[in-house]
Structure 1
Amino acid sequence: MSEDRSVLTRSAREPDQELRYGDHADHVIDYWQAKNPRPLVVYIHGGFWRPEYDRMHARPLGAALADLGWPVASLEYRRVPGEPDTTTTDIRTALDALPDLVDVQGGYVLVGHSAGGQLALWAAATHNPVRLRGVVALAPVADLLLADQQMLDDGAVQAFIGSGVRNDLDPVHLPAPIASVSILHGVNDTRVPIQLSESYFTAHPTARLTRVPDCGHYELIDPLTDPFNDLTTELARLTT
């Protein structure tokens, strides 16, 4: 079954602001405001940590969630092959900077897709950001060792970490986050097989794992599909 990748190139309403959390070109956050807003959604995009995939493909998601009442901060971060600590430093710095950039008094939910799901789970487990209400990981690369063994995206894990094993970056080997964790994963996902999320759930049974039927890798971030409703339902649960 082929994956529908149309959301990656679809145009969408631009963010209301572009906020900066550092001096590098990638130290930027797309921010959508919302009328009568709910708590903030902080989004970390995927793309197997590769430089060619940036936050632009997350704009349909950001605009759609803002239209539904959630303000959205979509994080950009450096993606340098073989330098994973550059990426994680950016995620940590961006989360630390949030209270000075946007209103987080009502708390926020950290959402990540694919490789962004790995980064969201890593951040929640190692950083425990202030005012974090919960994590929603969408088809996350939640087990780096298993992803590496399966050679996902032509060896994306080794391209990301450089070489060897980095259990300190691997959600399945990290402690369970203090904040609640919810994982949504399509049963038809061919990019990041659902076995990775099942492995995480086995290691951390306090998490919630929802196996989404008739769903591949991209539908969870595509506002034009039914599985996107699974995301909004989970956000409503965490922000009500």
Structure 2
Amino acid sequence: MSDRDSLDRAYANSAHIPGGADYPARWDREARAFRATARSELGLAYGSGEGQALDLFLPAQAPRGLVVFIHGGYWIEGGREYWSHLAAGAVARGWAMALPSYTLAPKARIAQMTAEVAQAVATARARVPGPVVVTGHSAGGHLAARMACLSALERVVPISPLADLGPIAGTSMNDLLHLDAAEIAAESPCLSRPLAPAHVWVGAQERPAFLWQARLLSEAWACPWTPEPGRHHFDIVEGLCDPASPLMQTLIPAA
């Protein structure tokens, strides 16, 4: 097995999760059902490019603050529409949640995605007064961590983040991402310092590569990390739906 094949296997998730191929359809159903009844402002533009838009979900009362969730998909696939239901926990606790899309590879480099998400956060926080908490999953966890390196936030909770882009450059995904040494150095969160308190979250049953990435970021940032028991890479985000979950209590601690 070549080095590239080994890295591809290390960062593959669906093949190692029972029923992994069924999750996207499930997320789509749950997101559609949530959007059908939620108080929301959908498709708010934060730039002029295709996909530069966000969805904002609001509680019944004036929001206590803003949570931003950044979706994953290895910077290559996915979009905000699959994840609307993850706003349920924040909304139930009286917070707004913004979910941005961003330009994907190969149309954009990761540095451009970082800049786009920063603009999305700025646009959302201009609409919702109060503290701003940023989270994201997988590649979105990477982008959430990058937000903590760029501006002051109340808190950042990267979920299953990719903190070191060096190994990703060795996978077949790099045929689309085009990572080089300069971008790896600039865009790897583990090589930067956060401007906000952080807590790294990961599923205890995730692939060893993701456990390593999460632990690496927590050590580089000297921040806590939680490997949540029984959770894998696809169901680790489900805690965002439950206002009483340990993940939500970490994301939005009780006042």
Q: Same fold (TM over 0.5)?
A: yes
Structure 2 residue 146 is matched with structure 1 residue 122? yes
Structure 1: runs of 5+ lacking an equivalent: none
Structure 2 residue 233 is matched with structure 1 residue 217? yes
Structure 2 residue 220 is matched with structure 1 residue 199? no
Question: Which has a greater percent of helix?
Answer: 2
CA contact (8 A) 1:32 1:73 kept: yes
CA contact (8 A) 2:240 2:248 kept: no
Root-mean-square deviation (CA, aligned residues, Å) is 2.6
Q: Which of 10, 23, 28 is matched with 1:9 structurally?
A: 28
- Written as runs of structure 1 = structure 2, the 5 A alignment for 1:1-150 is 1-3=16-18, 4=20, 5=23, 7-11=26-30, 12-14=33-35, 16-18=40-42, 19-36=44-61, 37-50=63-76, 52-81=77-106, 83-100=109-126, 102-104=127-129, 106-125=130-149, 127-129=150-152, 132-149=153-170
The Cα shift of 1:84 comes to 2.0
Determine what percentage of the aligned residue pairs are the same residue. 25
Q: What do the CA deviations read for 1:9-68 (whole angstroms, capped 9, x no partner)?
A: 333322611221112231111111113433211111111101x31111211102443234
The Cα shift of 1:224 comes to 9.1
Distance 1:185 1:99 in 2: 26
CA contact (8 A) 1:188 1:214 kept: yes
Q: Could you state the TM-score of these two structures normalised by the residue count of structure 2?
A: 0.79
Structure (1 or 2) with the larger CA radius of gyration: 2
CA contact (8 A) 2:67 2:132 kept: yes
User: What count of residue pairs does the alignment treat as equivalent?
Assistant: 226
CA contact (8 A) 1:182 1:209 kept: yes
Q: Could you state the TM-score of these two structures normalised by the residue count of structure 1?
A: 0.83
